[in-house]
Amino acid sequence: MIKIGVLALQGAVREHIRSVEACGVEAIAIKRKEQLEEIDGLILPGGESTAMRRLIDKYDFMDALKQFAKEGKPMFGTCAGLILLAKNLVGYNESHIGVMDIKVERNSFGRQVDSFEADLAIKDVAENFPAVFIRAPHIVEAGENVEILCKHNDRIVAAREGQFLGCSFHPELTENHDLTAYFVKMVKEAKQKQLV
């Protein structure tokens, strides 16, 4: 049985936990870095990336998160979580966790008042996924090993690189759990590999 953690420092933690549980998997709110050892995959939720980074530093999470990635365990960043995963950020000299070979621009769809919903076709996930964009970032550039899963108005809004999955929108704010289920499958496959 796999366990999926949701980094519970800030952001839409409860909604992600509900979505993971809807996929029939145990979900754990991660509030201490030691808990990372108990889980097989981690969701970095949407929220405010600057506030999240401050809390990651305050609670000494950064090295543990990088180690988690090094161990080959899957990570899924949504909205602010996507910013945390990116190796490069537009207008910033350094990244946060910096494990996914993408360049991300923050707030590229405008401010809170410009929030919107769009039905997206996401490769291997859903033909019609109801995506909620709130002050969303987008992927400006993707490395050669990054698989682009979805674009909206020619902007990359979902991508995968090996064990890393990222999207610009908030899949946890809908009743559609297909993208979470896709991540659950990634976690199961990664665990299978580790057992071999």
What is the separation of C-alpha 147 from the centre of its chain, rounded to a whole number of angstroms?
Answer: 15
* CA–CA distance, 44 with 46 (Å, rounded to integer): 7
Q: Which of 79, 105, 167, 177 is catalytic?
A: 79
Q: Which of 16, 150, 172, 177 is catalytic?
A: 172
Q: Is 52 within 8 Å of 141 (Cβ atoms)?
A: no
Query: Whose CA is closest to 44, among 4, 72, 71?
Result: 4
Q: Is 179 within 8 Å of 171 (Cβ atoms)?
A: yes
Q: Is 170 a catalytic residue?
A: yes
Q: Is 150 a catalytic residue?
A: no
Q: Is 144 a catalytic residue?
A: no
Q: Catalytic residues, which ones?
A: 79, 170, 172
